[in-house]
């Protein structure tokens, strides 16, 4: 199954990327932006047909490698 996960910086952690992108958007005329936060997106295709088990596997990957839980959170957004 294909599992999609997003990893974002925790709320109070500085997001330098988001900040600079917001400034760039502003310079291009997108003035009405409160905030931009950037994160990572993963689409992981696992050899597993059970959605629950697939989710479990990808959560495990997030915990062990993909996310650094000191500064990041993850969320599974889609399983198909």
Which positions lie near another protein, rule CB under 8 A?
A: 9, 12-17, 19-21, 23-24, 27-28, 38, 65-66, 68-71
- Among the listed residues 11, 12, 14, 28, the single contact to a second copy using CB under 8 A: 28
Residue number with CB closer to another protein (32 or 52): 32
Site string for a second copy, 37-66 (x = CB under 8 A): xxxxxxxxxxxx--------x--xx--xxx
Give the whole-angstrom CA distance, residue 54 versus residue 64: 15
Q: Is the dihedral of CA 58, 68, 12, 38 positive or negative?
A: negative
Q: Are 21 and 36 in contact (CB under 8 A)?
A: yes
Kindly report the CA angle at 40 between 1 and 3, in degrees rounded to 5? 10
**Identity of the residue, 66 or 70, whose beta carbon is nearer to a second copy in the bound complex:** 66
């Amino acid at each position: 199954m294909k599992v999609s996960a997003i990893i974002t910086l925790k709320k109070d952690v500085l997001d330098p990327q988001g900040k600079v992108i917001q400034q760039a958007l502003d310079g291009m005329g997108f003035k009405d932006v409160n905030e931009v936060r950037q994160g990572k997106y993963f689409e992981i295709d696992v050899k597993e047909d059970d959605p629950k088990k697939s989710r479990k596997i990808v959560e495990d990957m997030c915990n062990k490698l993909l996310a650094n839980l000191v500064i990041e959170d993850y969320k599974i957004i889609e399983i198909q």
